[in-house]
A = this chain, B = another copy of it.
């Protein structure tokens, strides 16, 4: 038996129809310019048009992140999944994409500060945090820790993408960011939703707008 399904096989057409559906169904009225493309990419990554209502951002956040990437800033990710979802080809300056979760210094640091490995790696970002793009797609503890370190005098990144997911601390850490981002431009999804696919999608939007992934 040989069945052939009727489905769209052309990647460019798949993207076109996806973005068209999102523009038709989602309320994008709060967004414009680059921020609109980023919102579309976030929705595309999760398949839910109502996500638009949960997106919070500071004025000029998209432009701050895009400019940082154009100037060669590194991208710090909290988990390897985020790193591997970023499309290197889209990055404007062969930017470094860094995740230190599995660095050998992380376990002793986590013990030292009494926190998760995800949070402990933030301590290792050090001075390179200055002007960087930070993409947190998994761990609320990493976002809390980043805010703590900035309060303690750590250099400020160019943009924080606050997209941790889940039931313990995710909503709370993102509220802390949205309520007081310490003057750092931010983009976040309020509530429990988030995830590594959204975090990568946000970076891909900063780097390449709605260009096809393939």
Contacts and interface: CB of A to CB of B under 8 A. Distances in A.
Interface string A154-165: 000000000001
Report, as a range, how many residues of chain A touch the other chain.
35 or more
B214 A116 contact: yes
What is the total number of copies of this protein in its complex? 2
A47 B170 contact: yes
Interface string A10-24: 110010011001100
A103 to B, nearest CB: 15
Interface in A103-126: 114-117, 119
A123 to B, nearest CB: 13
B193 A7 contact: no
Interface of A: 1-5, 7-11, 14, 17-18, 21-22, 44-48, 80-81, 83-85, 114-117, 119, 140-141, 144, 147-148, 151-152, 165-170, 172-173, 176, 191-197, 200, 214
